[in-house]
Amino acid sequence: MALLLQIPLIVAPRRRQLGKIPSRISLTTLRLGLGLGLGLAPRKSKSKSNRNTVPSSSLHNNRLFVSVSPTMASTAQKVLVPIANGTEPMEAVITTDVLRRAGADVTVGSVENQPRVDAAHAVNILADALVSDYANTVFDLIALPGGMPGATNLRDCAVLESLVKKQAADGRLYAAVCASPAVALGPWGVLKGLKATCYPSFMEQLAPTATAVESRVQVDGRVVTSRGPGTTMEFAVALVEQLYGKEKAKEVSVPLVMRSNHGDEYAITELNPVEWTFDDCPKILVPIANGTEEMEAVMIIDILRRAKANVVVASIEDKVEILASRNVKLVADVLLDEAANLSYDLIVLPGGLGGAQAFANSEKLINLLKQQRESNRPYGAICASPALVLEPLGLLKGKKATAFPALCNKLSDQSAVENRVVVDGNLITSRGPGTTMEFALGIVEKLFGREKALELARAMLFIRP
């Protein structure tokens, strides 16, 4: 089944009704969630500037940050994220999401002859427009995701090649991750004399066109490169720093709950271990709703499909298309009404404040979750969903769990909340976007074993190969 993502050309959504906000969530918590952690986009910048150059480093260093409130974003920087058939969806969505958290005006452009592209792992993306429509547009940053044959298709786009070459010649920022530094930037000649990195199996191809290094993220002059899906969040935060400075990068990265030990082997905290069983191939339900955090949803879906699980993405709304937290439109495989007719080896909820609120108001989903626990089948949640969905339903009773840091005070048992991923019997919970890979790998570990999870973690460069 395919998951369709449509990413519109806007920085922040119009105000939308999210349902009743729990009275115990403070204004401070809501501000944190609005900007960066719980999956609500910051307010759109009023700036309509179409600058020909990015601000100089001195302006970056002297920028006045009058408040750390994410609703007061710096002037929007214009960013192009080109996509193609075969693009790695985690790299495209993480880059887009993180940059939009910083207030950037991100345009996702298809290099194909239509907006819709067939990305990897049965994820389809509908771009804002075609790259050819932006042939004469000036961007502050052009950032290429990887994936194969996505990187090759980006390389073969003459308009994109011209844009990136002009970007380099004019001293503006450009970037690439995974296969794209070697497959696209190298052949275009924009890495000459510069240090760069890429996906390990493409390092030999990169070597003749750049000084190849094995850094997780490499910044040299106005080019930023990185290695794969597991380094993309670091890559995206580095791009925020290049565009807006260190203070903004810190403001964006802290609520993501990123790891400090990048590249080290991950660990999950497991209590009361039980075996998670299934017949033949595990069937997993991933519900999505308006306000779902798209990074969390896409990483869960992508990684579980890499493990060859049968992942069903179901919209709890009255249509398959939902508006996610950073203005990414996801189109589910089915409506929950149809999905509810089946039984699942695992039900796993992504986070996002609006999405969690919608989950908590879905009687059909509530019934599925209750049936899952009553039949001793696994279920899980991340970010806002453990606190706003599982806890009120009594599905954390007698269990250790964690959640988004600002919502952990809503859990009745807070003894395990500092752990990044907690497994207690048939329950798995986690904290936020920056813990989602560990969360998904923890699920793989429970279903397929530790070795399979480590194999995927290495392949994605989440841990050192």
Task: Give the pLDDT score at 120.
Answer: 93
The type of residue at 26 is S
Task: Give the pLDDT score at 196.
Answer: 98
The type of residue at 296 is E
Q: Convert 264-285 to b/e letters by CB count within 10 Å (16 or more is b).
A: eebebebeeeeebebeeebbbb
Q: What is the largest CA-CA distance in the chain?
A: 63
pLDDT in tens, 285-323: 999 999 999 999 999 999 999 999 999 999 999 998 888
Three-state secondary structure of the chain:
CCEEEECCCCCCCCCCCCCCCCCCCCHHHHHHHHHCCCCCCCCCCCCCCCCCCCCCHHHHHHCCCCCCCCCCCCCCCEEEEEECCCCCHHHHHHHHHHHHHCCCEEEEEECCCCCEEECCCCEEEECCEEHHHHCCCCCCEEEECCCCCHHHHHHCCHHHHHHHHHHHHCCCEEEEECCHHHHHHHHHCCCCCCEECCCHHHHHHHHHHCEECCCCEEEECCEEEECCHHHHHHHHHHHHHHHHCHHHHHHHHHHHCCCCCCECCCCCEEECCCCCCCCCCCEEEEEECCCCCHHHHHHHHHHHHHCCCEEEEEECCCCCEEECCCCCEEECCEEHHHHCCCCCCEEEECCCHHHHHHHHCCHHHHHHHHHHHHCCCCEEEECCHHHHHHCCCCCCCCCCCCCCHHHHHHCCCCCCCCCCEEEECCEEEECCHHHHHHHHHHHHHHHHCHHHHHHHHHHCCCECC
pTM for this prediction: 0.86
Q: Which residues of the chain have pLDDT under 50?
A: 7-35, 42-74
Task: Give the pLDDT score at 82.
Answer: 97
Task: Give the pLDDT score at 1.
Answer: 53
Kind of pairing between the strands at 334-335 and 141-144: unpaired
Task: Give the pLDDT score at 75.
Answer: 77
Task: Give the pLDDT score at 331.
Answer: 81
Determine contact, residues 410/388, Cβ cutoff 8 Å: yes
> Residue 212 pairs with which residues in a beta bridge?
196
Residues serving a catalytic function are 383
Query: Whole-angstrom Cα distance, residue 85 to residue 88?
Result: 9
Task: Give the pLDDT score at 126.
Answer: 81
Task: Give the pLDDT score at 58.
Answer: 32
Query: Whole-angstrom Cα distance, residue 280 to residue 262?
Result: 34
Angle, helices 232-244 vs 246-253, to 10°: value is 140
